[in-house]
């Protein structure tokens, strides 16, 4: 039986296997063996699709991505997707951006 281990703002691991999701909150950086992830900016006018500006540091290099939901980007030999934003219009600004590994 697989038992998920969940770390705050860090995604999920199953029995030591690779992270399948990375959850990013405002003003945080999530570090994984493949790289470090952080949100630079969220642009979310109510009448348009939200855009996230993401910073990824991997193998000594920084890449910046402007993504809308469903966009895919590469980090080393892995592909990741901007999956969703949770609580985007929260009055406290406590949104979270979820990245999902693409198999």
Rounded Cα distance between 23 and 96, Å, is 6
Name the domain count of the chain.
Answer: 1
Question: Residue 58's domain is classified under what CATH number?
Answer: 2.60.98.10
Which residues form the domain of 60?
Answer: 4-102
Query: Please, is 57 exposed, middle or buried when counting C-beta atoms within 10 Å of its C-beta (0-12, 13-18, 19+)?
Result: middle
pLDDT tens per residue across all 103 residues of the chain? 333 333 334 444 434 456 799 999 999 999 999 999 999 999 999 888 999 999 999 999 999 999 999 999 999 999 999 999 999 988 898 999 999 999 8
């Amino acid at each position: 039986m697989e038992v998920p281990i969940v770390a705050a703002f860090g995604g999920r691991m199953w029995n030591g296997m690779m992270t399948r999701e990375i959850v990013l909150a405002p003003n945080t950086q999530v570090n994984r063996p493949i790289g470090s992830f952080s949100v630079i900016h969220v642009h979310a006018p109510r009448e348009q699709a939200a855009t996230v500006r993401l910073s990824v540091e991997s193998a000594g290099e920084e890449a910046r991505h402007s993504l809308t939901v469903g966009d895919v980007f590469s980090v080393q030999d892995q592909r990741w997707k901007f999956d969703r934003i949770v609580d985007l219009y929260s009055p406290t600004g406590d949104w979270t951006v979820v990245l999902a590994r693409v198999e």
